[in-house]
Amino acid sequence: MNTRELIENSLLDAMGLLEANETQDFERAFRSASPAVQAHVRREQTRLSHIEQLLPIVEPPADLRAAVIEAVRQEMELAREQAGEGARSSVFTLLPSSRVSAMWHHGDWVHDCRGGVRHCCHASEIGDLADR
Amino acid sequence: MTRSTNQGEIDLALMQSVATDEQESVGELYDRFGSLVYRMAYQAMPTRAEAEDAVQEVFVRLWRTADRYDPKRAALVTWVMLITRRHLVDKLRRRQARVRASSLDEARIGQRTANMVDSGSDMERDERFVALLEKIETLPELQKTVVMRAYLGGQTLRQIGEELNTPIGTIKSALSRALVRLRERAGEETLA
């Protein structure tokens, strides 16, 4: 992927318009780009937030904040319950989790365990799975 | 230390805190981006109720992915927009199983706007949305078609390429150029 394609894809990435495999290609190209190009991509993506100016001028209802916090709290609770059940079922099995590894930051290969079957996949793939 | 580095550190600390299930931090994240996410959802979803549901789902998704946030990779606003757009695109694509993409064809922009007004949609008084459609209308033909189908309709670029019998590289370039043009026009309005 050359620099022009990288910039082009960065805009589509920021708008969530790339497919999972394209996102992975973009991530790989971004990581291998020079710091100057990375900074340029980052600036281009940030500038895309100007599109916000084209969004409707509407304010969220006042009770939405509480509803959002409650929705996240319930998900946190559910995740804790599932983690607890998993720990009880087997102390040797890694827990299937919707959360993703911080190793994503480094693009490392990580081990993940889903459904009791251990396999190796790239952290970005885990992120994508968790994302969907 | 530069200001942007400081902001990056603040953003990273916030997302790390969200990742460790700090509800207060979720509130802080909402205070910073709730309005943006709601406006994006309001633009994409047909009703306020669906927009509000989408906002809740987006914040759950932001919590789930919080430990993936890397300020070196993207500013937090970009990350939030990415997660929001992905979620909205997913929802639009699921909806597409029921709604034919052709209804989003550029030739029907006027009809679609008129339908929204006639149907008493939540967007009927939304001049911004009409203004956005008008801006899209001024784009070159292919850019207009692609941005309507992908940005507003949630169609995949591959689907668009197949339907228009156009290489996906051309579709990507057209969409990318359209987004830059829209961004620049939005920037001009901000300065005006």
Which residue from B86, B96, B131 is spatially nearest to B113, judged by alpha carbons? B131
Confidence of residue B80 (pLDDT cuts 50, 70, 90): very high
Helix (H, G, I), strand (E, B) or coil at A119: strand
Q: Which of B35, B88, B131 sits opposite A59 (nearest CB)?
A: B35
Average pLDDT in chain A: 70
Helix (H, G, I), strand (E, B) or coil at A56: coil
- Judged by CB atoms closer than 8 Å, whether chains meet at B78 and A14 is answered as yes
pLDDT of residue A12: 86
Which amino acid would we find at residue B120?
G
Distance (Å) from the C-alpha of residue B35 to the closest C-alpha of chain A? 6
Interface of B with A in 116-175 (CB under 8 A): 123, 126, 128-129, 131-132, 135, 150-151, 156-158, 172-173, 175
Which region, left, alpha or beta, applies to residue B191 given φ > 0 means left and ψ of -120 to 50 means alpha?
A: alpha
**Is residue B66 scored above 90 in pLDDT?**
yes
Higher pLDDT, B4 or B45: B45
Establish how many alpha carbons lie within 13 A of residue A72's alpha carbon, considering only the half-sphere containing its beta carbon. 28
pTM, 2 dp:
0.69
Tokens of A112: 């993940």
Element (H, E) at B24: helix B23-44
Q: Which of A58, A97, A129 is the best mutation test for B, with the most CBs of B within 10 A?
A: A58
pLDDT of residue B57: 96
Q: Per residue in A29-76, pLDDT tens?
A: 988 989 898 888 888 888 777 777 777 788 899 999 999 999 999 999
Which residues, 6+ apart, have CB-to-CB distance to B95 below 8 Å? Answer: B154
Q: Which of B26, B78, B86 sits opposite A131 (nearest CB)?
A: B86
Q: In this structure, how many other beta carbons lie within 10 angstroms of the beta carbon of residue A90? A: 10
pLDDT of residue A102: 40
pLDDT of residue B76: 92
Chain A neighbors of B42, CB-CB under 8 A: 55-56, 58
Higher pLDDT, B103 or B40: B40
Inter-axis angle of helices B48-64 and A123-131, nearest 10: 150
d(CA B36, CA A16): 15
For residue B173, give the chain A residue with the closest CA. A8
Average pLDDT in chain B: 80
pLDDT of residue B112: 46
Which amino acid would we find at residue A62?
A
Span B65-94, average pLDDT: 87
